[in-house]
Structure 1
Amino acid sequence: MEIIRWVLIGIIALTSVFTVFFVLLNKGKGGGLSDMFGGGMTSSLNSSGVASRNLVRLTVGTIVLWVVAIIAYALLLRFTAA
Structure 2
Amino acid sequence: MLDAHWAVNTRSTILLTQAFAAQHDGRAGGRVVFLTSGQDPGPMRDEVAYAAAKGTLSSVTPHPGRPSRLKRPGSGGGSIP
Report the TM-score when normalising by structure 2: 0.32
Larger Rg: 1
**Which structure has more RCO (C-alpha within 8 Å, separation ≥ 6)?**
1
TM-score, length-scaled by structure 1 = 0.32
Which has a greater percent of helix?
A: 1
